[in-house]
Structure 1
Amino acid sequence: MRYLKVRRVGLILLAVGVLCGVLVVGNGSRQSVPRTRIQSGTAWLPSASAGQLTLVDGVADRVAARVPVAGGRRALTAAQAPGAGFALDRASGELIRVDEITRQQRRTIVPGAVRLISVEQGLVVVGRDGFSVLDPGSLVVREHQRTPGRIDDITVDALGRPWMLDRAAGDLSWFTSGVRRHRPAPATAMLVTVEGAPVLLDPSTGVAELLNPATGEPTRTWRLDTRPGDAVLASGGSHLSVVSGSTLRICSPELAQCSSTVEIGGPGSELGVPVQAGDHVFVPDYGIGQVSIVDVAAMRITHRRPLFDGRHRFDLVVADGIVFYNDPDGERSGVISPDGRISVITKYDSEQLAAGELVAGVPDPVGRSGQGTVASVSRPAVSGSGVGPGSEAVAPEPLSISVTPHDRASVGEELVLAALGPPLTAVHWDFGDGAVGEGVTVQHRWDRVGTFPIRASAVSMSGGARYDATASVVIDLPGAPPGVAGISVEPPKPVIGQRAHVSADITGGTPDRRSWSIVGPKGTEVTSDAAEFDHAFAEAGRYTVTLSMAAGSQVVRSSVSLQVDAGRVVGWGQHATIPPEAQSGVIAISAGTNHSLALKADGTLIAWGDNTWNQVTIPSEAQHDVIAMSAGEQHNLVLKSDGTVIAWGQYMNGPQDVVIARPARTGVKALSAAPYFDMALKSDGTVVAWGGGDPGQYVDGNMPIPEEAKTGVVGIAGIAGRLFALKPDGTLYSWRSRMWEFAASSGLVDVVERDVLDFRPGDHTTVLRRDGSVISVDKNFLELPQEVPPPGRRDIVAIGQGLALKADGTVIAWGSGPNLVPVNLRALRIDGSQSCGLAIT
């Protein structure tokens, strides 16, 4: 009897923040970014028998490096990031990072880890009860999300929002700004991402749904025409590839239709998950050890190539557009070209391994961290100071401590401690009970009850600077009643109408019952007996969130206080008269030259200011479901929750209306509207630029992009004469545009600044560094040391054009723009242009 097989395809996770057309990914100075990969067209492939990671060069068809990472006969899963390869030993939970240049290794233990994948923002490890994002350089935890059930599928949309399937519970969940949403899903469902949009497939009914990233509801539905009882597999990418039984079809969610079928399998076939590379789909057949290559445009098989003799399990891996095949248990690997050429590459000598001459042991690694697990991060106060320019006190790059799974445990229970901060060479730990330890990540058990102070003392890789951080843990007796280690509200500073997710970290035993209450200015606003829930606050004010839990006759209560702000827009300079609808519930702002935009929590867009080019007349399709926007000189760009990009107004060299280049119509996660052109950052880190110019010039998105900014970009922006791109290592690149004669060769690309967190270009460009310092640079990118006033140079959390926001909400302004900030202004967010300043309060 044939049965329905559902396999997990693709695991991606992004963590992004969009700031008025400039996208910045990461967590500032706490982010440790590995160096850029020197070799392209390479893939790290695992060999379980040899306990080895092999770096295979797909351009030269050769082995570039062999690195022993574990003992032989280990179940290894591999992934790669720029500059490094990773191996996960699924039996022991050991995670190993191999530097591509030095071959040095860094290790940690992740108990219960079952899946591993590298993405632009970090290394994703999926465990039994959730997933975490690890720093790809130091292997310390950046983010952790727990899930109520198991994770059968996990993927991400173009805006970095994770989507997960729990088939047993029939639940589809996703995260928006750290807030978990969910809806029912069929028990046989599959989940993939196509052009950055989530697609839910139900093989039992043969139906596919393109989902709205904001609500999870279908925006398009179509039939897959799968046959009942067939094994169904699917993969995403630029299109949806569906294998049903022995056939393949290609589907377009945008058109809500599928192609005709191509017969792939035959007698003895067992088809696997297809992969996409360019205009071809590669379908593995484990039953006969071969691969079929399908031309997507013609929907026909162009080549069938045997890879192994008879039945054989193998992996297909796509890296830099090259398709690799790999025997994860043996020595054989190679490259598959779209033209059917097969290159065989031997990862190691199997005879040497059998004779014991191939060493499969583990060399002494760099920074071995001991036992570890994945969990949420706590960030205590940082001690230490330094002296900067002008003898002004400067706080060092911060160091903090994460405690996993929480900072409250029982006697004998193991906790994992990690030092978070700049790249570190050594960390010394004092656990507060007389014991000490060494390593970036360590584990410890306490043998008695009490509250124990923890101190981490570290030395940075760059310059040998020394840092200290402190935290504390509470240790109870085993079998202690349930307790609350902490209550979480995300986002921590909501505004009116913005949905916040409320949850708690529970310690000790399981409570018999629990009860939540939220009390505000008008009394009790909401109650709930759920483990976690969402709530939209109706008015501004101080709120108290309380969780009560009972176990038998014992009752435990814990409360946190939070401030809900109005979400009111305040303006100064030109077009500073704010419309009434922007007086509450606003979560984002974008300041153009002569007009401004505001985005409300419900996805409504508001525009005001000069309307000469109809730039504040919002088209009906852009009035709702908006998730990001960019106000330009005379036109606007918005991104909707379904991935649609909309533009209106005119370029400065009109009179033609603005357009959206075809490559920027799907898979976009950030936009920047410049006076003469537009830029889009896609979910794969590539940049598309197009513009006004002469009619039809560059409308197809073929504006030249320099090599430095073609891939791996995390932030974009444009002004009249220049385009900017920010890379993950903090390097900010810029290149000129001279009346559409774009100087995009590598020799004409400028490095504006390094160690950049955020930037706002202009006649004088404002730059926020990862250490919280701010500088202003001129058109030649020379620093203007006296332009930024002293209060705006340090401890800054956000910037605008000539604006800086401090943690206490203070706004500092300078330069030729509007610098008369309203008295006593305390802001949540800011933005500015040369003509106006905006803040959300």
Structure 2
Amino acid sequence: MIRRRTRAFVAVAAAASVTAAVLVAGPGYDAARVRMSSGAVWLASSGTGEVSLVDGTTGEVRGHTRVAAPGTALSVARLGSAAFVANRKTGQLSRVDSATEQVSPSGADLPASDGLVVKTTPDVVHGIDVRSGTVVSVDPHTLRSSGDRTRLAERLQPDSVVVDGGGRLWAIDADTGDLVWLADGKRRSRPAEAGNSRLTVTTGRPVLVDPERDVAELLHPGTGVVAGTVRPGLDAGDVVAVSGSADRSRVLIANSTRGELVVCAFDPRSCTAPVKVAAEGADLGTPVEVDDHAVVPDYSTGEATVVDLADGSVVSQRLLFAGPVRFELVVHDNLVFFNDPNSNAAGVLKLTGDVMTITKHAEAPTGDDGVGQQTDPRAQQAQQETKIGQPERTPAPGLTGQPALPDSSTPEPKASIVVTPGNRGAVGDEFELTMTFLPAVIADADWQFGDGTTGRGATVRHRWQQAGEHTVEAVATLGSGQRVTARTTIVVDPAGTPPQITGLSVQRPKPVVGELVRISAGTSGRPDMWAWTVTRAGRNRPEATAGTAEFSHRFTTAGQYTVSLTITRGTTTATSSQEVTVARGAVEGWGRNRSGVLDIPPAATSGVIAVAAGDAHALALKADGSVIAWGDNSWGQVEVPPEASSGVVAIDAGQAHSLALKADGTVIGWGGKGVKDLEVVPPAARSDVIAISAGFDFGLVLKKDGSVVSWGASPGNVEVPPAARSDVIAISAGFLHCLALKADGSVIGWEGDEGGHESATTTPPEARAGVVAVAANGWSSLALKSDGSVIGWGDNDWNQISIPQEAKSGVIAIDTSLTHSVALKSNGTVLAWGANDFAQTAVPPQYNSGVLSVSAGKQYNLVLV
């Protein structure tokens, strides 16, 4: 019945959520107007219930002020020399004075909520509960509230509550997408249909960024009417975080889906070329701006990237934390502070990439008898400016100065070297080299550049003065004493060597109609100019052009295209072309047509990028991120919910239920009505998910931390074994058992309560290394090896694991159902074996080429052509 799943890696961006403490210093009024004592800022520590006054010029902690019991989530904002701190547990608001470090508690009745945030203006402090959409306004001097709660909406977008230059509070209604704002104590609204939009403020005016419509709109502060529009090049479903410049009319857009930063100006109305700041599917936070530079946080890695906004170049990329952290970036007096409100870790990031770490408190304060407790700032250990790492001199963020001890439960990190802008250049060109680790750690490295010179640091820059191939070696000593080595090769051409195009890249190589395709190239010689054209066969005029190093294009018609690039450096040029075949992206199938599962709807005959065959129903994923379903609906499995109409990146069909994964890492489930524990996706499976698989009566998801979560009516399948709680890279939920593929290429399996099918979950020796994909169903299992061969184990009553000779090489995808299996070869040919009672393994001749993907249902198959 069910299968599934082949190794489909899906990069997603985790949804931005309300953090434990929010320091308001980015978009809106606060960043533009607030000034405190020079170089000092209040940083929150929810674990200790403190705020710490940190000097960004010396790294000294001037003092600590207790504002809540340890472990209390805090929201912090600033106004003048004071910090306003809201206790999310009690709703109490406090003001902390920078000069005296004294606390003035308020009697204001703010909503006690984990969605409580604080926004300040010179005349009012707003306490906003995004969960209930209510606002309480407080006098910043007397700390007295008006006594009224204003309801802006039922719920508000948590990262789209801003204050404009006139003190008006703006937000987005999370349910309707309407624009709402508070002016002179009165609620106002305007229909906007901005469900996936974000708000920010530039030069005191609100800006709405809407990926669904690909617009950034400058709004009139009084009426909300659109006063100016630019198109940043976003796609529906893109997950973005935005901020605005204080001194010029522009907006900074961090696109998690693509891992890019785009800067758009309203005067003139234009947007820059995207700047790559992270991997696709990263979890990017709100950019901050200082001195015509942007700093973009990446919560998924603990990194921050500094971008020069004058020329769009990446100045540095620095690891601030040793793993995923939802940290804060706070700009004050031209300093960029970073802070983890849930730990002791903080510091200052220089625009050059240098980092000064700060330990906010030497030890946790004791007692829980109210606020105002302070510690002696002299207990703060000495700090020094350093590159990231150097554990022998400066403790890494989050540590208290004690040497790190080896942790036997932590896998040994693997190291690599990232070279910017690439591994080839000319004599005299500058290269930036960064040593990176997986899992992430903080460490400096000793570098040998292969030309007799050396360097030290997590990131170094170097210019080679001799042409040739140079082997670069970086050696880092970790806190455990372990030495880790990484190597790479740099090709240096003689000075004046004409530029070369080393290769064109079209992702994906076989796109379908309507799919947004990323196009880039590898080059040498550091080109001055780029000129791209995309031309359809038989046409003279290009249908697209671009002048950037990489760009995106959406093909609207199937057929043959030529992608050409000409690069120029000085007076020399180089040209290269590549043929691209754009497929129709149509779903087709054969076998048993139970419940009309082979009656393909018109919407699935073009522009489909993925297909999933269930027991007697099917799903298709369109290039625009929407889901189509057809076939049996006895359990509501084809009643696609509105949430699956956009932003979906992966699908799977079970016996009587369906799953969809969205780009923000959330999971949607429908169908399975009446099946115990199946209908509702549990909280653990609703965020940070990168892969999904639907079993017979249970669901399986893979989270970005490498752990597997399961739920449904089969307790044995739901009880994930310890071995599948880390380092997993792919999953497959079958009829009565599950498979997980580990990062080392080995396969593990487990089964439900019924038992008796150990043969399907007992991994054979040949599946304990070198596996790249898995597929489970019935009482049998399949695995695809890195050499393109398929292996199988378990029940073989229908010959479903009797692998044919043709499937022992050249296979790129596999799937299996209860009684038969299918495979896709690299030349687009489909193979099938096992039961043939409904001709499901008699592959029609038209599928001997041109197939993009395969999926096996109960007694039928679907393909994407």
| TM-score under structure 1 length normalisation | 0.51
Aligned match of 2:553: 535
Measured in 2, the distance between the counterparts of 1:794 and 1:669 equals 28
User: Is contact 2:685-2:709 (8 Å) kept?
Assistant: yes
Aligned match of 2:382: 312
Residue deviations 1:733-778 (CA, integer Å, cap 9, x gap): 1112115x9999xx99743531221111123322111221101212
Aligned match of 1:673: 694
Asked whether 1:581 is paired with 2:581, we answer no
Measured in 2, the distance between the counterparts of 1:236 and 1:527 equals 41
Aligned match of 1:762: 777
User: Is contact 1:20-1:590 (8 Å) kept?
Assistant: no
Measured in 1, the distance between the counterparts of 2:396 and 2:647 equals 47
- Please point out which of 595, 606, 609 is paired with 2:631: 609
Asked whether 1:731 is paired with 2:746, we answer yes
Question: How far off its partner does 1:535 sit?
Answer: 0.8
Give 1:577's aligned amino acid.
Answer: D
Question: How far off its partner does 1:790 sit?
Answer: 0.6
Measured in 1, the distance between the counterparts of 2:396 and 2:645 equals 52
Measured in 1, the distance between the counterparts of 2:543 and 2:285 equals 36
- Please point out which of 798, 817, 825 is paired with 1:806: 825
Residue deviations 1:55-86 (CA, integer Å, cap 9, x gap): xxxxxxxxxxxxxxxxxxxxxxxxxxxxxxxx
Aligned match of 2:392: 329
Aligned match of 1:751: 763
User: Is contact 1:544-1:561 (8 Å) kept?
Assistant: yes
Residues 549, 202 of structure 1: alpha-carbon distance in 2 compared, 3 angstrom cutoff: closer
User: Is contact 2:697-2:712 (8 Å) kept?
Assistant: yes
Residues 508, 718 of structure 1: alpha-carbon distance in 2 compared, 3 angstrom cutoff: closer
Aligned match of 2:533: 516
Residue deviations 1:401-438 (CA, integer Å, cap 9, x gap): xxx725x978999999xxxxxxxxxxxxxxxxxxxxxx
User: Is contact 1:496-1:564 (8 Å) kept?
Assistant: yes
User: Is contact 1:172-1:185 (8 Å) kept?
Assistant: no
Measured in 1, the distance between the counterparts of 2:521 and 2:396 equals 47
- Please point out which of 663, 667, 673 is paired with 2:684: 663
Aligned match of 1:595: 617
Asked whether 1:687 is paired with 2:708, we answer yes
Aligned match of 1:148: none
Measured in 1, the distance between the counterparts of 2:549 and 2:394 equals 49
User: Is contact 2:320-2:397 (8 Å) kept?
Assistant: no
User: Is contact 2:568-2:574 (8 Å) kept?
Assistant: yes
Aligned match of 1:501: 518
Number of aligned residues: 518
Residue deviations 1:236-294 (CA, integer Å, cap 9, x gap): 99985558699xxxxxxxxxxxxxxxxxxxxxxx9863264xxxx44569778734659
Question: How far off its partner does 1:605 sit?
Answer: 0.8
Aligned match of 1:778: 794
Give 1:787's aligned amino acid.
Answer: S
Residues 539, 473 of structure 1: alpha-carbon distance in 2 compared, 3 angstrom cutoff: farther
Asked whether 1:199 is paired with 2:215, we answer no
Give 2:729's aligned amino acid.
Answer: V
Give 1:274's aligned amino acid.
Answer: D
User: Is contact 1:180-1:501 (8 Å) kept?
Assistant: no
Aligned match of 2:563: 545
Residues 761, 160 of structure 1: alpha-carbon distance in 2 compared, 3 angstrom cutoff: farther
Residues 334, 287 of structure 1: alpha-carbon distance in 2 compared, 3 angstrom cutoff: closer
Measured in 1, the distance between the counterparts of 2:420 and 2:502 equals 13
Gaps spanning 5+ residues in structure 1: where? 1-18, 28-158, 214-232, 247-269, 316-324, 337-341, 349-367, 377-403, 417-442, 453-471
| TM-score under structure 2 length normalisation | 0.49
Gaps spanning 5+ residues in structure 2: where? 12-236, 267-271, 301-318, 348-356, 407-413, 434-461, 470-488
Aligned match of 1:260: none
Residues 553, 486 of structure 1: alpha-carbon distance in 2 compared, 3 angstrom cutoff: same
Aligned match of 1:273: 339
Asked whether 1:831 is paired with 2:849, we answer no
SS, match of residue 285 in structure 2: strand
Residues 274, 731 of structure 1: alpha-carbon distance in 2 compared, 3 angstrom cutoff: same
Measured in 2, the distance between the counterparts of 1:175 and 1:272 equals 20
Aligned match of 1:252: none
Residue deviations 1:121-141 (CA, integer Å, cap 9, x gap): xxxxxxxxxxxxxxxxxxxxx
Measured in 1, the distance between the counterparts of 2:324 and 2:429 equals 50
SS, match of residue 646 in structure 1: strand
User: Is contact 2:533-2:564 (8 Å) kept?
Assistant: yes
Residues 347, 662 of structure 1: alpha-carbon distance in 2 compared, 3 angstrom cutoff: closer
Q: Superposition pairs for residues 247-286 of structure 1, below 5 Å?
A: 273-274=339-340, 276=342, 281-283=343-345
Aligned match of 1:489: 506
Measured in 2, the distance between the counterparts of 1:503 and 1:166 equals 29
Residue deviations 1:176-200 (CA, integer Å, cap 9, x gap): 58x967454999x9x999x985431
Asked whether 1:631 is paired with 2:653, we answer yes
SS, match of residue 759 in structure 1: strand
Give 2:556's aligned amino acid.
Answer: A
Measured in 1, the distance between the counterparts of 2:431 and 2:263 equals 35
Residue deviations 1:628-663 (CA, integer Å, cap 9, x gap): 111100000111223332111116x72776111111
Question: How far off its partner does 1:833 sit?
Answer: 2.8
Percent identity of equivalent pairs: 28
SS, match of residue 549 in structure 2: coil
Q: What is the RMSD of the two structures over their aligned residues, measured on CA atoms?
A: 5.9
Residue deviations 1:307-330 (CA, integer Å, cap 9, x gap): 995442399xxxxxxxxx998234
User: Is contact 1:409-1:475 (8 Å) kept?
Assistant: yes
Residues 622, 375 of structure 1: alpha-carbon distance in 2 compared, 3 angstrom cutoff: same
Measured in 1, the distance between the counterparts of 2:668 and 2:633 equals 18
Asked whether 1:790 is paired with 2:861, we answer no
User: Is contact 2:813-2:853 (8 Å) kept?
Assistant: yes
Residues 670, 550 of structure 1: alpha-carbon distance in 2 compared, 3 angstrom cutoff: closer
Aligned match of 2:177: none
Question: How far off its partner does 1:813 sit?
Answer: 0.5
Asked whether 1:561 is paired with 2:579, we answer yes
Residue deviations 1:425-475 (CA, integer Å, cap 9, x gap): xxxxxxxxxxxxxxxxxx9x99999xx9xxxxxxxxxxxxxxxxxxx9999
SS, match of residue 580 in structure 2: strand
Residue deviations 1:354-408 (CA, integer Å, cap 9, x gap): xxxxxxxxxxxxxx99x987479xxxxxxxxxxxxxxxxxxxxxxxxxxx725x9
Give 2:833's aligned amino acid.
Answer: W
SS, match of residue 633 in structure 1: coil
SS, match of residue 723 in structure 2: helix
Question: How far off its partner does 1:508 sit?
Answer: 3.3
SS, match of residue 791 in structure 1: helix
User: Is contact 1:758-1:767 (8 Å) kept?
Assistant: yes
Question: How far off its partner does 1:728 sit?
Answer: 0.7
SS, match of residue 286 in structure 2: strand
Give 2:505's aligned amino acid.
Answer: S
